[in-house]
Amino acid sequence: MTSAMLLPKSPRESDLRYLKWIKQQPEWRCLVTGLADAVACHLRSVGAGGSDYWVFPLIQPLHDESHRRPEFFCKHRKAIAEWFYVLPQLHARYRSGVFKS
């Protein structure tokens, strides 16, 4: 038995209310196409314990492509990096309760 097997798995940060809220924000547009009909693409997959707070917007076909083609992230790294610069502001807005529905 390895020492990693003895460590408990960290709980995944799950917040369905946040995911619903963020999709209603004006900033929530596909990073590639600019379309508002975007889904939440987790930075780290849900199966690997990805947090609902670390998501970025992509339309469904591009979200699917991001899973199939690892080079997707290299191709769109600037847009993704810019999103994660804005994300803390969205987190603060959500936690302040000012725009909660």
The domain locations on the chain are: 24-96
Express each pLDDT in 40-67 by its tens digit.
999 888 888 889 999 999 999 999 999 9
Give the mean pLDDT of the chain.
Answer: 89
- Judge contact between 39 and 51, C-beta under 8 A: no
Whole-angstrom distance, CA of residue 52 vs CA of residue 18: 8
Whole-angstrom distance, CA of residue 95 vs CA of residue 24: 15
